Every structure is written in C-alpha cells, then in structure tokens.
Amino acid sequence: MNRVKIAPSILSCNFLILEKEIKTAEEAGADLFHIDVMDGHFVPNITIGPMFVEAIKKITSKPLDCHLMISNPAGFVNDFINAGADIITIHIEADTHIFRTVDVIKQAGVKAGVTLNPSTPLCSLEHIIDNIDLLLIMTVNPGFGGQSYISSMDKKIRDARQMIDATGRTIDLEVDGGIKATNVKRVVDAGADIVVMGTEFFHSGDYKKKVAEIIKILK
C-alpha cells in the first residue's frame, strides 16, 4: 500500500507569511494542500476564495485540494477550476444536483470529491459513489479548525472504506477534522488514505518533525 498522504490545512497557517508556510510545509513532506473555503452561510465562518487558490498555485507544485463549505457550490466550481484546483470537494448537503456538478468538475480534468457532515449517513452516497474520485469524511462539524475529533466517526470511516472497496474503483478516502498524532493511527487503520491536519501541523512549530512523527506512528 502507498504511504498515507498528509494534507496540511492552510486554515491554521500564518497568513502573514503564507508563501513561507506553503514552501516550508512542502519541504517538510506535505503531499497536498487542503484549502478550506467557507461562505458564512453553509458554515458559520468566512475564509478564502478562488483568488487565494490562484495565488497558491503559483508557489507550489503540490496538488491543491479545495474543500468547498459553501451553499450553492455549483455556482462556484468553475471559478475554482480556473484558479487551478486539482481536487474540488463539495458537500452533499449543499448541492441539489450533485451528478451535474460532479460532471462539470470531471469534464475540466479536475478530481471530483464529495463530502458528508458527521451526521449525514453514508447511504446518501449510494447513487453517486461510482462517479466520484474522492470521498471526504468530516470528523468535526465543519466551520473551524481546532475542534475535537468525533469518536463515533471511526465506524463511518470503516464503512466508507467498505463502500469504496465494493465499487472496485480507485476512490481516495480523506478524513478531515481533529486529526492529530494521537488519533491518526485509528483513522488510518479504519481505512483513510489522506489525512487532513490543520492545527496539529501548522501549530507544531516544526513541520518536518511533525511529518516524521506521523510517518513513524503509521509504520
């Protein structure tokens, strides 16, 4: 099996030195960058938009993983495609016509992800699972970094892994929210292959050391 991918969430980085943060994280071994887009409507917080994605694209060769926590994602996917997103993930709770939106993303050559809030059941994916490239399981209620992992999500990750394996297709299983050195093993044992880390990564003070610690724990 390939090594689990570490996706630092730039939500927790120091925006005053964004370029340095991205480059240091990349050198430390970040596999991709998780970009949290919030609109103050779907979630109770406002963050960043396509202009940021376009700027970050210029300073890293790592994939940009855009997590859209916004109402009406269909109205904005083209902006993120044009900004250089490599993965665009939309919330199933926020989009009425998921097949159409997933098609638009894939037609542009971008990976299409779908995500579920912690309380949204996996069965809501039944008809779309064969069309997606990535499934993101939220392990906190989205909106803020630094929240605690909801422990009942272990089973959801395990069930999601089974669901993906049953398709026989390659679908990345990403997990987001409250992931730390102390719980990364249980999340990966449950079947995750991309782990998002915000506070754990960017507040660690030494990104290289943090990546080495995570890799060692997962060996």
Residues 199-219: b if buried by 16+ CB within 10 A, e if exposed = bbbbebeebeebbeebeeebe
177 binds, among Zn ion, ligand DX5, none (CB under 5 to 8 A by kind): ligand DX5
Q: How far is the CB of 71 from ligand DX5 (least distance, A)?
A: 15
Residue 165 known to be catalytic: no
Phi then psi dihedrals of residue 48, to 5 deg? -130, 165
Q: Which is nearer to ligand DX5, 83 or 194 (CB)?
A: 194
User: Residue with structure tokens 């989009």?
Assistant: 95
How much of the chain is helix, strand and coil, in % rounded to 5? 40, 20, 40
Q: How far is the CB of 136 from Zn ion (least distance, A)?
A: 7
Q: Which of 31, 36, 39, 174 binds Zn ion (CB under 5 A)?
A: 36
179 binds, among ligand DX5, Zn ion, none (CB under 5 to 8 A by kind): ligand DX5
Is 210 one of the binding residues for Zn ion (CB under 5 A)?
Answer: no
Q: In whole angstroms, what is the distance from residue 68 CA to residue 102 CA?
A: 13
Catalytic residue among 31, 36, 39, 172: 36
Q: How far is the CB of 203 from ligand DX5 (least distance, A)?
A: 8
Q: Which of 21, 65, 172, 176 binds Zn ion (CB under 5 A)?
A: 176
Long-range contacts of the stretch 49-55 (C-beta < 8 A, 24+): 49/79, 50/76, 50/79, 50/80, 50/82, 50/83, 51/83, 53/80, 53/83, 53/84, 53/85, 54/83, 54/84, 55/18
Q: Which residue type occupies 169?
A: R
Is 91 one of the binding residues for Zn ion (CB under 5 A)?
Answer: no
Q: Which is nearer to Zn ion, 26 or 174 (CB)?
A: 174
111 binds, among ligand DX5, Zn ion, none (CB under 5 to 8 A by kind): none
For 6, 162, 192, 197, the CA distances from 183, given in Å and listed in that order, are 14, 21, 12, 11
Q: How far is the CB of 65 from ligand DX5 (least distance, A)?
A: 10
Phi then psi dihedrals of residue 52, to 5 deg? -65, -40
Residues that bind ligand DX5 (CB under 6 A): 9, 11-12, 34, 36, 67, 140, 142-147, 176-179, 196-200
Residue 65 known to be catalytic: no
Catalytic center residues: 36, 176
Report the interface residues with Zn ion, using CB under 5 A: 36, 67, 176
